[in-house]
Amino acid sequence: MLIQEEQPFYMQRCLQLALLGLGRTRTNPMVGCVIVRENRIIAEGYHSGFGLPHAEADALSKVKDPALLSECTMYVNLEPCCHQGKTPPCTDAIIQSGIKRVVVAMEDPFPAVAGEGIRMLRRAGIDVTCGLLDMEARQLNRRFITYHSEKRPFVVLKWAQSADGFTGSTEKEIRISSSDSLELTHSWRSEEHGILIGSQTALTDNPSLNVRHWNGPEPVRILFDPNGRCSSVSHLTLFDGKSRTLVLTADSEASYPNAEVISLNGGSKPVHAITTALHESGIASILVEGGSRLHSLFLNEGIWDECRIITNPIRLGGECKAPGWPSGEMHCMQSGEDVVHFIRKIA
């Protein structure tokens, strides 16, 4: 049984704080921290961006009277790090602070930590409890966990379709979703590390793949162009040099201005090759925006984590049939005149 002070409320607050770093901490996890004395929060912090202070250090820096820390409990939604990275180990700061109790939601899957942070705290005489709101913590940091445990980016498939199940035209760009859904889509772009499209979408729509209808960080632009169709097509906005752009291709002769080219081996599992290459390039999560053939590749290989489908009441007909919906845990919401279905893959 949890003792009185280990109320889920404090860990819920950690999760709320951690979420403030969404899209900004990649490839680090989102972490929040609160420090409690006599059932009152006396300081809180969160990891606000890659290379910036971690949540534990941020919270400790806000304690007005450090002499009180020996009477405090620290709550943090992820095991404190114990290695030197962009910032010093959080375990050292916690031990030096004099805190006697730490409550952790889940262990860190990162190999340099993986339980060692908890062991270090315990060896220093600190009472450590692990597992409070474990499932909620895993859901929050699902991108980080997938990146380290499965050695690939977390994959979100997104498309918009008409009521009769079509996504548009191969000849020209057709906007299906409402203005509300456009804003929602751009918020999704800011949350993921990269945004991936195929060559047909690049040639037909010439998208910018940036964040315009939302305030948030820009994703890495990623083009899957296995046959080099977009090679030397210099007018494509993807190659304007305004943000980092990766091109995945099996064409050894292809060249792309203002882009990093990643060579892919041909084979029967192109998505496995894509996600392996992106993992090696440090891309923690991707939003796959299209087109339908690319979505179908991911679905057929079973490499996806979430699917977000925007359905508009218009009827299109035509040749661009939307992919079949995968099975999984589903819920939906209204977005203007659209209905958005969220499908989460069941492990």
Instruction: State the catalytic residues.
Output: 56
CA distance linking residue 271 with residue 152, whole number of Å: 10
- The answer to whether the beta carbons of residues 224 and 201 sit under 8 Å apart is no
- The answer to whether the beta carbons of residues 142 and 155 sit under 8 Å apart is no
Going by C-alpha positions, the residue among 152, 143, 153, 173 that lies closest to residue 291 is 173
The DSSP code sequence of 25-54 is STTSPP-EEEEEETTEEEEEEE--STTSPP
CA distance linking residue 44 with residue 17, whole number of Å: 8
Q: Where are the beta strands (DSSP E) in the chain?
A: 32-37, 40-46, 73-76, 101-104, 127-130, 154-162, 166-168, 194-198, 220-224, 245-249, 260-263, 285-290, 306-312, 320-321, 329-335, 338-344
DSSP letter at 326 equals P
- Which residues touch 286 (CB under 8 Å, ≥6 apart)? 153, 154, 155, 156, 192, 193, 194, 195, 196, 222, 278
DSSP letter at 257 equals T
Q: How many residues does the chain have?
A: 347
CA distance linking residue 11 with residue 297, whole number of Å: 39
Residue 27, preceding bond cis, omega within 30 degrees?
yes
- The answer to whether the beta carbons of residues 214 and 189 sit under 8 Å apart is yes
Structure-token pair, residue 265 = 């081996």
Q: Where are the beta strands (DSSP E) in 163-202?
A: 166-168, 194-198
